[in-house]
Amino acid sequence: MSLFARPHYTSDATQFIEKLKHERPELDAQQRAGRALLWDKPVDRALWQEYRAGRVPQKSYVYYSYSDEQ
């Protein structure tokens, strides 16, 4: 056995999460539903190609007003 091994140790955060999931088993389903609202969306790759093709390159220093009078 290693000197630094702690086989029976679980952190306070892990214990809290395990207890919370035990008390509220519907929590996983709610998390998945919340993720689906914001993140799990179909990606239209053709539309993204159009967005990328229409990008305008940014100037090197965006806070300076470049003028053609110089």
What are phi and psi for residue 55, nearest 5 degrees? -70, 145
Instruction: Say if CB 20 and CB 27 are below 8 A apart.
Output: yes
CA distance 8 to 53: 55
pTM of the complete model: 0.46
CA atoms within 13 A on the CB side of 33: 5
CA distance 22 to 20: 5
pLDDT tens track for 10-61: 899 999 999 999 999 999 999 999 998 988 888 899 999 999 999 988 777 7
